[in-house]
Amino acid sequence: EAQVTQNPRYLITVTGKKLTVTCSQNMNHEYMSWYRQDPGLGLRQIYYSMNVEVTDKGDVPEGYKVSRKEKRNFPLILESPSPNQTSLYFCASSLTSYLTGELFFGEGSRLTVL
């Protein structure tokens, strides 16, 4: 089944404890991206990757890191989480890297930072 898989789906952590949210897709997509969703603000892009070893900042990259060492994986790293990073996070992918095609989303990861 074609899908984008995020883990963990739910996480409660404490300020400053490094964490990684994994994202994996099995559709051989070139483009992958991360978003956070907050009430009243819609979805905001954190980082995106047009292909392996190519990453770029979205609108809200502060406090986050990403890497794209393999085509299928695009982990989101919070080196020192803070309470303002409490949010619902989505990973998405699409087939093309030239003019992003139809986006497929993961099921979301709800993160709480205490």
Angle at alpha carbon of residue 7, lines to 39 and 110, rounded to 5°:
20
In angstroms, rounded to a whole number, what is the distance separating the alpha carbons of residues 16 and 75? 18
At residue 23, the 3 state secondary structure works out as strand
The answer to the question of residue 14 lying near another protein (CB under 8 A) is no
Least CB distance to another protein at residue 59 (A): 7
Nearer to another protein, 100 or 112 (CB): 100
At residue 85, the 3 state secondary structure works out as helix
Query: Using CB under 8 A, which of 6, 35, 81, 93 touches another protein?
Result: 35
The answer to the question of residue 103 lying near another protein (CB under 8 A) is yes
Least CB distance to another protein at residue 84 (A): 19
